[in-house]
Structures are given as C-alpha cells and as structure tokens.
Amino acid sequence: MKLRKALSHIFLIFISIISIGPFIWLLSTAIKSPDENIFQYPPNFIPESPTLINFIDVWNKVPFDAYIINSFIVAIFTIILNLVLSALAAYPLARMNFKGKNFIFYAILATIMIPFQVIMIPVYLMVLRLGMVDSVSNIAGFAGLILPFAVNAFGIFLMRQAFLGIPKELEEAAVIDGCNTFDIWWRIFIPLTKPALATLAIFTFVGAWSEFLWPSIVLTKQEMYTLPVGLTHLQGVFSANWRYIAAGAIMSIIPILALFLALQRYFISGTTQGAVKG
Amino acid sequence: MIRHYKPFVPYLFLIPAGIVLLVFFFIPFFESFLLSFQSYRHNIYSPEWVGLANYVELFSSPVFYKTMINTFIYLVVAVPVLVVLPLIIAIFVNQKLRGVSIYRTLIYIPVIVSIVVAGIAWKWLYASNGILNYIISLLNLPAIGWLTDPNVALYSVIVVTVWKGIGYYMVIYMAALTAVPRDLYEAADIDGANEVHKHIAVTIPYLKPTIALVSIISSISAMKVFVEIYVMTNGGPMNASKTIVYYIYQRAFENLELGYASAAGVVLLIIVMILSIINMKFFEGDKTAQIV
C-alpha cells in the first residue's frame, strides 16, 4: 500500500514537472540578466542575478500596454455578449413551445460540428463587406474581432441546461404575481443560474484571451493587436533575443494564471460541461 | 403550465443570437461552397467563376498531398496518446493521495495558457543549443534538430499539441470516473484482481462513452491544428510540418487565393464530417449521443 502511494507520487510529480517545466524555464530565462549566458551547459535554472530589466525593455520597445488593453476589451465585450445572447436564446429553448423549435434546436446543434477553420474565409469576406475592419476605424476593428464570437452553441446549451433545472412552480408563481415574460427571465432565471453564467464567463474569457487565428487574420494595425498576435509579432522582431520573448510571454500569462488559481473549481466544472464544444 | 407569453415572444428571445449565427455562421457556411468554385487570383474584388478548377488544381498539388499526409500523421499519433495517457493520469489523481489537488492544478495549467505562449515555451526547449539537446548530450547522443530536421519537426509539434491537451482530457475522465460504482471495484477485489486488471475489467467498459467522446474531440482538434505550427515552424522545413489548416491559412490570407483555399476548406469539412461519423459508429452512436 505504502509502495503504491510512493509510486503514485513519483508518477504524478513527473507528469507535473512536464506540465509546468516549460513555463518555469521560460520564467528563468526572462529574469536572467543580459550578462548571463542563457545557452550555457549545464543550464542554470536559478539566475545568477535575477532582474526585471527584460520586462521593462519589452514594455518600452513594443506597445505591450496596448496589447493588454486590447485583449481586455475583446475579452470583456465577448463575455458580455455571450452571456446575454446565450441566456436570451436559451430561455425559449428550455421553457417555451413554438413553431420551428426543433428545427432551431438542431440548427444550433449543427454549428458544433463545423469547425471555424472551415468557414473562416467567408467570415473574413463578411467582415470586410460589413466594414468591420481596423482600416475603417478602431471601433469597427473591434466589432469585427468580437462579433463573430458573440454567441455559440456551447453557451446556449449550457444556459438551456441550467434553465431546465429551475422548478416550473417558480415560473407559475411569478405569472400569478403579474410578471411578464421578460421579467421572469430577468428576475427569476438569471439570478438562479449564476453558477452557469460564471462558468460561461470564465470559459469565454479563456477562449477570447488566447484566440490567435481570427485576430491574426483581421488585424492590420499594430496598435490593435491583442496579446497572442502581439507575442508572435514580438517573436519576429526579437528573433534572437530569447530574454525579451520569454519576458513578453510570461507577462501575457499572468492575468489568466491569476484567474485560474482564484476560480479553479469553475474551470474544472466548466471543462466537463463544455466537452461538447469540440 | 400557464401560457404567459404571446406566440411571437419566443422568437424575440432568439433573434439576437439568431442574427449572429446567421451572419457569422450559416451564411458563411453556405458561401464556403460557392467560393470554392470561384477564383480571386485576378481580382480580389471581382472573383470569376471557374467551376471545378480549384478542386482539380488541389488534387494535383503535391504540397496539398503533403499537408494531408501530415494531418493524417497528426491524427494517428496524437489521438491514441490523448485517449490513453489522460485516462491513466485521471485514474492516478482520482485516488486518495496527499496533495493530489496540487497535481491536478499543475497538470491543468497548460490547458488555460494560450497556445502561442505554449509554442514559444517549447520552441525555446527545442532550440538547437537548448535544454532538450543538453539532456540528449548527457546520454552521449548527437544533438537533434527538433524543429529544423524535416524528419523530426512534425513530431516535435505533435508533442506540444499532446502536452497541451492532457489536462483537458484528464478532467473529462475525472468526471466520468466519479460515476463508476465503488462496489464494482470491491467485487473485483474479492475476485482477487490486481490494480491493472481492475481497471481493464471495470473502468474501461464503464468509461466507453467517455472514451468515445475523447476520441471524437481529440481527432477533430487534430484536424484543426494551426497555431503551434505557425509559432514554431511556419510549416517548415520544406513543408515537413505543414498541416491542412496551415495550408488553407497561407493560401487564403498570405496569397489571397480565397477560392482555391476555400476548396481546401471544403475538403477539410468533409474529412471532419467523416471522422465524426466513423467515431460514433465505432463506439455505438447511441451512447455517445447521450453524453453530448
């Protein structure tokens, strides 16, 4: 029994090291001073004289603050839109009878089967046609960045599932008290499904914060770059300077890491509910 | 139930999401087929109708075949590992063990970090005079061109995709494991089964729907890999690590051959559809459907 536990620990420590080792090495490189040889053998995990100079340099040499602000703008608006649109669409799907309900249900379900990579070209043309690109204006650029991801089937089904769990009696009581349909949605369904909304918000944040493919397609102005696009740009500019690249990468993961460590259980529960997302 | 709404009210609730899905999903979806019959090469603003020419060109392009083969290798290497390894890890972190929640947290971290950062971190490990080649040198082996050797680059990128996916699938398995009835294990104990046999006899049959789900999700995501390749190899050296989505991206947004790239997109769509169907048939579709 004891041996079994010891072997389990060894195995899990090994997997844990593989999981976070690459980030630790990146952090170690980011805080090494310009005088220290980052290629030396054997590699030095603990820097001789740790410094923040690389972070400061990156901050001064590329508009890193703009990348962070842009990423937050995109994430926040994507979250708000997803919460509102998913919760609205989920209500009739969970609680009302109407013509075409099955058709709409399966149409939404079908969107799960089609990867974005398959339709990204026509989506790009659509955004161009609608003038939602950063060459028109920054606001138009943000619209083109955010709106294609304003709602998805995962969010709608997550909220529908949450709404299905609310007792019918509550709804009936509200009708007798004279609430209209919108009131019932806003005063009963929304407050009672806060955990589902929190899960959806977190997942939307993680997705929006790390999204690279779409922003790399639509963005043309450097001041509009989000963090992942900014990082690949930085990688191109400082191709040989691994201290700077590492410093930029480390800075970009701090917000998401802090969020994860604070709200871990939502991440875990959301993963299992979101397994449909594909 | 009292009917408290007028007949048009359900549609009011559906309209905002409906507009977004219509404009940014359904219209583009149907347009992607139309685009594949057009050419944007002469003028990006007025495409011309070329019939099946894009498909003919696609299927006579050696680079396209190369990307298809690479994507297939991705599939057959990454998917089995992502189905099996996270299950083993999930069984380990599902025990009563001191500090087990810390292990779970650490193993999940690669999932939440952006794939751009993950690609950068691994590119640094893979550097020609980087840490992995140091470990190799300790074993008295010659340095490996992880991202520069055409025979190795694709596998180096696959490692990153797998590494980033382990925590995600582990959590899916963890949730399924809590649903396995305890008394089944106790019965196996009485029969004198050892740990490994217990899991083969009890866990795996019970988790079949979850295994199906994981194989579907991981094979579809293997078909979509792009960012790790973009960050680490740019599809090189000599197309050695170029996959189908990278090919579509490059032809569409670097060469502006939107019609030709759309034809490749339609091929990708068909492959993804076939994969989902095979996967569901293979693992008895009814059970999978229940989970989804």
CATH number of B57-291: 1.10.3720.10
3-state SS, chain A, equals: CHHHHHHHHHHHHHHHHHHHHHHHHHHHHHCCCCCCCCCCCCCCCCCCCCCCHHHHHHHHHCCHHHHHHHHHHHHHHHHHHHHHHHHHHHHHHHHCCCCCHHHHHHHHHHHHHCCHHHHHHHHHHHHHHCCCCCCCCHHHHHHHHHHHHCCCHHHHHHHHHHHHCCCHHHHHHHHHCCCCHHHHHHHHHHHHCHHHHHHHHHHHHHHHHHCCHHHHHHCCCHHHCCHHHHHHHHHHHCCCCHHHHHHHHHHHHHHHHHHHHHCHHHHHHHHHHHHHHC
Which residues on chain A are in Cβ contact (under 8 Å) with B112? 206, 256-257, 260, 267
Percentage of chain A modeled with pLDDT above 90? 64
The token pair at B135 is 């470990």
Contacts of A251 in chain B (CB under 8 A): none
B5 in reach of chain A (CB within 8 A): yes
Which of A103-107, A127-131, B42-46 is predicted least confidently? B42-46
CB contact (8 A) between residue A41 and residue B137: yes
* Whether residue A179 sits in one domain with residue A230: yes
pLDDT tens-place string over residues A191-226: 999 989 998 998 899 999 999 999 999 999 999 999
pLDDT band for B289, please (50, 70, 90 cuts): very low
Closest approach of A250 to chain B, Cα-based (Å): 8
Task: Write down the pTM of the prediction.
Answer: 0.90
pLDDT digits (tens, 9 = 90+) for A99-109: 999 999 999 98
Smallest Cβ–Cβ distance between B258 and the set A22, A121, A268 belongs to: A121
* Average predicted confidence (pLDDT) for chain B: 89
- My answer on whether A189 and A102 are in the same domain is yes
Which residues of chain A are within 8 Å of residue B26 when distances are taken between CB atoms?
A: 107
Measured CA to CA, the distance from residue A76 to residue B245 in angstroms comes to 28
- pLDDT for the residue numbered A240: 77
Last residue of a domain, one of A10, A32, A51: A51
Note whether B84 contacts A: Cβ–Cβ < 8 A. no
Instruction: Examine the domain organization and report whether A74 and A115 are in the same domain.
Output: yes
Residue B13 with chain A: CB contacts under 8 Å: 88-89, 91-92, 185
pLDDT value, residue B277: 81
Q: Count of domains in chain A?
A: 2
A80 with A17, same domain? Answer: no
Chain B residue at shortest CA distance from A23: B121
pLDDT class of B56 with cuts at 50, 70, 90: very high
Q: Are residues A145 and A194 in the same domain?
A: yes
Rounded to the nearest angstrom, the minimum Cα separation between A121 and chain B is: 7
A22-64 tens-digit pLDDT: 999 999 999 998 888 888 788 888 888 888 989 999 999 889 9
Q: Is the pLDDT of residue A270 over 80?
A: no
Q: Which residue range forms the structural domain that includes residue A17?
A: 1-51
Domain check: are A36 and A174 in the same one? Answer: no
What pLDDT is recorded for position A34?
A: 84
CA–CA distance, B125 with B119 (Å, rounded to integer): 10
Same domain for A30 and A62? no
Cβ-based contacts of A147 with chain B (< 8 Å): 20, 24
pLDDT score recorded for residue A43: 82
pLDDT band at residue A272, thresholds of 50, 70 and 90? low
Contact check, Cβ <8 Å, B114/A227: yes
Sorted by where each begins, the domain ranges of chain B are 57-291
Structure tokens at A16: 């844990």
Over range A158-183, report the average pLDDT.
Answer: 89
pLDDT at A49: 83
pLDDT band at B287 (very low <50, low <70, confident <90, very high): very low
**B283 pLDDT exceeds 80?**
no
Taking CA atoms, what residue in B is nearest to A95? B10
Q: Which of B93, B97, B253 is opposite residue A5, by nearest beta carbon?
A: B97
Is A113 found in the same domain as A136? yes
If asked whether residues A72 and A159 sit together in one domain, one would say yes
Q: Are both A31 and A107 inside the same structural domain?
A: no
A231 touches chain B (CB under 8 A): yes
* Partner B contacted by A96 (CB < 8 A): yes
Q: Which among A26, A84, A257 is the nearest to B124, CB-wise?
A: A26
pLDDT for the residue B286: 46
Average pLDDT rounded to a whole number, residues B180-201: 82
What's the pLDDT tens digit per position in B102-142?
A: 999 999 999 999 999 999 999 999 998 889 999 999 999 99
A87/A30 same-domain check? no
Asked whether the predicted pLDDT for residue A268 surpasses 70, the reply is yes
Query: From the CA of B151, how many Å to the nearest CA of chain A?
Result: 23
DSSP state of B39: E
Q: Among A80-84, A109-113, B13-17, name the one with the lowest average pLDDT.
A: A109-113
In chain B, which among 135-194 make CB contacts under 8 A with chain A? 137, 163, 166-168, 171-172, 174-175
ipTM: 0.90
Both A39 and A70 in a single domain? no
